[in-house]
Structure 1
Amino acid sequence: MIQKIIPTNVITGFLGVGKTSFIRSLLSQKPADEVWAVLVNEFGEVGIDAGLLGGETEQIQIKEVAGGCMCCAAGLPMQVAINQLIAKAKPDRLLIEPTGLGHPQEVLKVLTQAHYQQVLAMKTCITLVDARKLNDSRYTQHDIFNQQLQVADLVLASKADCYETPLIEQLSDYIMAVNNGAVTRGSNSDSNSNSSYTNAWKHRAIEPWSTKQVELLMPSIIARLNQPHEQIVNQREIQQLNGSSFVIQQPARLLDVNYSPLFSKEAKPQDVEFDGQGIMCKTKHADGFYSCGWVFDLSYEFDFDKLLHLIKSLEVIRLKAVMITEEGIAGFNSVDSELSIVELDDAMDSRIELLSMSKIDRELIEGALLSVCLRLG
């Protein structure tokens, strides 16, 4: 039986904005006597973010849901993952990172259903956004990019060390425009009355964020972490709430984590199905994006310099990788040709995932990857 209600933060942001790096920084501020759990969702079919977070410890438990938005199929993948994570970790805080192409309004709709109120206390929803992307129509015309700003209680101007203050002011103006007409559902609201809704956009907080200034910027973010999440609804929903045809649907019951064997903490992750060469490849096409991901078994060792050269040559909008090289285990994170590399402690295999707005030549890139590695033993 669940003994405590768990403070829960959803952390959103579009592709490559730095969600994983921010969560790493946030975990570094965790109180020593607390256990935190992280649920990570990825667009692609190959899970990588858990490796980039640095792996699990007794005080930090991580679970991945790969293969697209975890709120799909009536939220079942997310409910399964949350139950397994709670059963295993019994956390003092839960951080949820939806995919950059996930639907944040749907994720929050699932998490704020009545049956979760005895399990999760929804706190500040944080959205990271690179203010430089406001000049790129691929972002501003994308519904999910705008949804992420609508649901945010706190907006972090990510990579703020790379641009000037006027861009943050432009971001503030853009958020005001995006949220024009939205409303917030108050904590004492009556869903059958217009008076239960207040004007939504109260100029929610915008804070600068950079991984190069963690000690300076993090205290202000931590101070906001436990503020209650304010649910956003739009004018169409208000009309539904006041219309005679509105029907309240009963939410599905949250299964008891100590009763259902499906949600047992002993549940094992899906095995990687390698081919005869010790490789697994999965592809996906959805929402105008193509992904292609590979997993190489433990016998493959990559030449770091040649791999780095290959990664820099790939014309994709997003790349993530955890690779075993002769120089150690390296994590690669690239968006729009901005590449960061971190040294990692452990990996059970090598994984790389590419995301593009055009079809990816799977055979060509797989051949290139095989040309920069050796298969040992």
Structure 2
Amino acid sequence: MTKTNLITGFLGSGKTTSILHLLANKDPAEKWAVLVNEFGEVGIDGALLADSGALLKEIPGGCMCCVNGLPMQVGLNTLLRQGKPDRLLIEPTGLGHPKQILDLLTAPVYEPWIDLRATLCVLDPRLLLDEKSVTNENFRDQLAAADIIVANKSDRATPESQAALHAWWQQYGGHRQLIHTEQGKIEGHWLDLPRLNRAELPSSAAHAHQHADKKGLAALSLPAQQRWRRSLNSGQGYQACGWIFDADTVFDTIGLLEWARLAPVARVKGVMRIKEGLVRINRQGDDLHIETQNVAPPDSRIELITNADADWNALQTALLKLRLAENA
């Protein structure tokens, strides 16, 4: 049986960073797998996890709990039966609802395959001060379904967010564990804690997406001779716009970072090719984190998510101007 953990958390909470930390510190003798899903179409998390050493399956453009769980079942079956990992981490989109996923993982058909352990919810406590977040069904139910609440980004905490977390925990914490951390530093032994929280969650009435026509994971790649493309997705009051550029397209570093910093959206995430190699961009609200490496990625991918109207054409025009002239 494969030890399995569901790692949830709202947009920008730090799920992917937490998974990267776990993979970097796992027992090297163990084979781990990650089933990752994103709201958008272009597969940023897959790009971030590509060099982690784990077996990886992506479900882009929506969420793994939609469409009767079929995309998730295909990815799950492939990883379990072909990969035979010692540990499986499942990362749903930040807009994903946990009920359908947990129902599937505990279905009789998976009893011989899955040893479901603690569900972790990665939380940026500052979101408890944001009315749009705390009134979101998926945000509330991700927290309700968790065995362990990981209060991440403690280095960014404010007195107000600490007070909000304390008040929330007094009301909803129960007998679960609350762990404070920063930069997604989750300890591996937390994954082996048992699944104790079996609270009955309602299905999310608002949980619906407008899905593009999917052609599997091949849809994440550019056709031959195409230099770039744009993909859109929307649902639950959120919109996502992502771009993929070919391996020969190189961006101006300073201009790209300013574009990402100033874009009038809530979320920016990308792996982009620059003259120095690659830059990883992760922005939630005003928090901008960048990391550079002197290796070139196989392509460039960047995605923006917002719960307000956005002028994608204007943002695209500005982004295209940042391509270095010889690669435009």
2:117 to 120, 123, 126: 123
1:41 to 27, 34, 37: 37
The residue that corresponds to 2:157 in the other structure is: 163
- What aligned pairs does 1:51-130 form with structure 2 within 5 A after superposition? 51-57=47-53, 60-130=54-124
In 1, are the aligned partners of 2:129 and 2:164 still within 8 Å (CA)?
no
In 2, are the aligned partners of 1:157 and 1:168 still within 8 Å (CA)?
no
Report the CA distance shift for 1:343/1:169 in structure 2 as closer, same or farther (over 3 A). same
* In structure 2, distance between residues paired with 1:204 and 1:166: 23
Are residue 323 (structure 1) and residue 272 (structure 2) matched?
yes
Helix, strand or coil for the counterpart of 1:75?
Answer: helix
Are residue 8 (structure 1) and residue 10 (structure 2) matched?
no
1:203 to 164, 175, 178: 175
In 1, are the aligned partners of 2:141 and 2:201 still within 8 Å (CA)?
no
The residue that corresponds to 1:376 in the other structure is: 327
Helix, strand or coil for the counterpart of 1:360?
Answer: coil
**CA deviation after TM superposition for structure 1 residue 353, in Å:** 0.5
In 2, are the aligned partners of 1:291 and 1:360 still within 8 Å (CA)?
no
- What aligned pairs does 1:359-370 form with structure 2 within 5 A after superposition? 359-370=309-320
Report the CA distance shift for 1:297/1:10 in structure 2 as closer, same or farther (over 3 A). same
* Counterpart amino acid of residue 82 in structure 1: L
The residue that corresponds to 1:253 in the other structure is: none
Report the CA distance shift for 1:313/1:202 in structure 2 as closer, same or farther (over 3 A). closer
Helix, strand or coil for the counterpart of 1:118?
Answer: coil
RMSD: 2.4
**CA deviation after TM superposition for structure 1 residue 84, in Å:** 1.9
Using structure 2 for the length normalisation, give the TM-score.
0.88
Are residue 350 (structure 1) and residue 318 (structure 2) matched?
no
1:297 to 221, 228, 246: 246
* In structure 2, distance between residues paired with 1:282 and 1:28: 31
* Counterpart amino acid of residue 224 in structure 1: W
* In structure 2, distance between residues paired with 1:141 and 1:349: 37
**CA deviation after TM superposition for structure 1 residue 82, in Å:** 1.1
Helix, strand or coil for the counterpart of 2:3?
Answer: strand
The residue that corresponds to 2:230 in the other structure is: 281
In 2, are the aligned partners of 1:292 and 1:360 still within 8 Å (CA)?
no
Cα displacement string for residues 218-265 of structure 1 (whole angstroms, at most 9, x for unaligned residues) = 4xx43331122135334989xxxxxxxxxxxxxxxxxxxxxxxxxxxx
Helix, strand or coil for the counterpart of 2:66?
Answer: coil
Structure 1 unmatched ranges of 5 or more: 180-200, 238-266
The residue that corresponds to 1:312 in the other structure is: 261
* In structure 2, distance between residues paired with 1:232 and 1:346: 45
In 1, are the aligned partners of 2:23 and 2:52 still within 8 Å (CA)?
no
Report the CA distance shift for 1:156/1:268 in structure 2 as closer, same or farther (over 3 A). closer
Cα displacement string for residues 114-157 of structure 1 (whole angstroms, at most 9, x for unaligned residues) = 11111111101000111122111011111111001111100011
**CA deviation after TM superposition for structure 1 residue 299, in Å:** 1.8
**CA deviation after TM superposition for structure 1 residue 107, in Å:** 1.2
1:18 to 10, 14, 17: 14
Report the CA distance shift for 1:91/1:295 in structure 2 as closer, same or farther (over 3 A). same
Cα displacement string for residues 297-344 of structure 1 (whole angstroms, at most 9, x for unaligned residues) = 112110111111111111100011110111111110101021111235
Aligned residue-pair number: 314
* In structure 2, distance between residues paired with 1:10 and 1:348: 29
In 2, are the aligned partners of 1:35 and 1:91 still within 8 Å (CA)?
yes
Q: Select between 343-352 and 63-72 the one with higher mean Cα deviation.
A: 343-352
Report the CA distance shift for 1:50/1:121 in structure 2 as closer, same or farther (over 3 A). same
The residue that corresponds to 2:210 in the other structure is: none
* In structure 1, distance between residues paired with 2:102 and 2:201: 18
Report the CA distance shift for 1:169/1:152 in structure 2 as closer, same or farther (over 3 A). farther
* In structure 1, distance between residues paired with 2:65 and 2:217: 21
Which protein shows a greater Rg?
1
The residue that corresponds to 2:212 in the other structure is: none
In 2, are the aligned partners of 1:172 and 1:206 still within 8 Å (CA)?
no
The residue that corresponds to 1:333 in the other structure is: 282
The residue that corresponds to 1:232 in the other structure is: 198
